[in-house]
Structure 1
């Protein structure tokens, strides 16, 4: 009688080999995943070293003003002492300190025509346009009074040509009134408006005619004004031309100059 044996499976693998392969595959997979996830240490960016923080420079201590400096400045201005003015400023005197009638040291120096003191103040930076209680500045007052040296300094240090006095006039208008030839020349050269009208309705030309004389200084002043662009037919507040006013006052030399410039 023949024995019957069970049929062999062609797909069956020995159990022992399977047990060896599977753990190896698992180990290899874990190693591969770990290798993919890990960033190489060499790819990490290297931080640049920060420069050391700068040590702040200590600020110098402010100079404490000498309590006597302002009084010394006022005394130096009154004495027209330029060196005394400089000394007081170096010790902390206030260049813009208001005194009597609201005057700054420079306005006070200008009203006294204290040239040395005014020069020291202007060179130290005093405001040439600062006005006192009656709207006089160093610039305006020097022009009105014919203080040529101080006026020249103010023009060189920022004088405002459009600045006006309490009558609404520029520095040129009182210069016309007083026949200040050199002031008129300087102001026109600086570019001041020769046809500005003040609160009375007068230009510098009208003021020269109405308040001046027929003498040589006013003749030269009128000549400069006309050559500098003054309108010979600009009427005053009453509707009169400069020529009509000159004829009415008997200022025949001025009338001739105005007529020669086209005045009617």
Structure 2
């Protein structure tokens, strides 16, 4: 009986010293995500020094680095990456700091992930590399950076679209997407690689009324 009481007292002491949230996550881990989201570098460094696990997950499976990337908190991301955070750690919907930074055009964070082991072949839940959503969303410098890093310009996602196809199908045909098409073509994008229904980039450009893109594709041998 005395032993049982001692065990209960120890468990109570442990629970008081390392509080947990409803999800089972320690409060220090919750604090690390909060500090990352708000860009509080001092708090991040203090928490890591106290032994908080750098790649601990929140309820969505996100690490603190992914939380910092969501908020485009560059200095928080830098502190975490310099301390060894995994730039390829994916959450429950298969986003990683590298993939999310590329998709959202968070260029400074993207460059940091590339310098710290970003997996250029990793894909999101749609089976696309970081280059594909970056092209769709018109992030010109991000596209340039990913091409220079060596991302496959002809990778095909689960929708049977390449970066070139997404730039045309989901783009607006404006200057940013014209430049992205130019960059992709120059980098070796296959201008005749059709979508899953056999529709080519040139045909999509014509259907969208994107004259400048149509002309650029035709000049590159598109049919």
Equivalence for 1:181: 140
Q: TM (normalized to structure 2)?
A: 0.86
Asked which structure has the greater RCO (Cα within 8 Å, sep 6+), the reply is 2
Partner of 2:119: 160
Structure 2 residue corresponding to 1:261, chosen from 208, 220, 223:
220
| Contact 1:69–1:91 (Cα < 8 Å) also in 2 | no
1:71 is displaced (CA, Å) by 4.1
Cα distance in 1, alignment partners of residues 54 and 183 from structure 2: 36
Question: Partners in 1 of 2:180 and 2:121 — Cα distance?
Answer: 20
Secondary structure at 1:126 match in 2: coil
Alignment partners' CA distance in 1, 2:124 and 2:46:
32
Gaps of 5+ in 2: 1-16, 19-26
Instruction: Report whether the alignment pairs 1:139 with 2:98.
Output: yes
**Residue 208 (structure 1) aligned to one of 167, 189, 192:** 167
What's 1:116 paired with? 75
- What is the TM-score when the length of structure 1 is the normalising length? 0.73
- Matches of 2:128 and 2:51, distance apart in 1: 35
Q: Deviations over 1:136-192 (max 9, x none)?
A: 000000111100011010000000000000000000000111111011111110111
Gaps of 5+ in 1: 1-65
Supply the distance in 1 between the matched residues of 2:30 and 2:195 (Cα, whole angstroms).
Answer: 47
SS in 2 for 1:102: coil
Query: What is the distance in 1 between the residues matched to 2:56 and 2:70?
Result: 16
Bigger Rg, which one: 1
The alignment of Structure 1 onto Structure 2 pairs a total of residues equal to 199
- Which deviates more, 81-90 or 120-129? 81-90
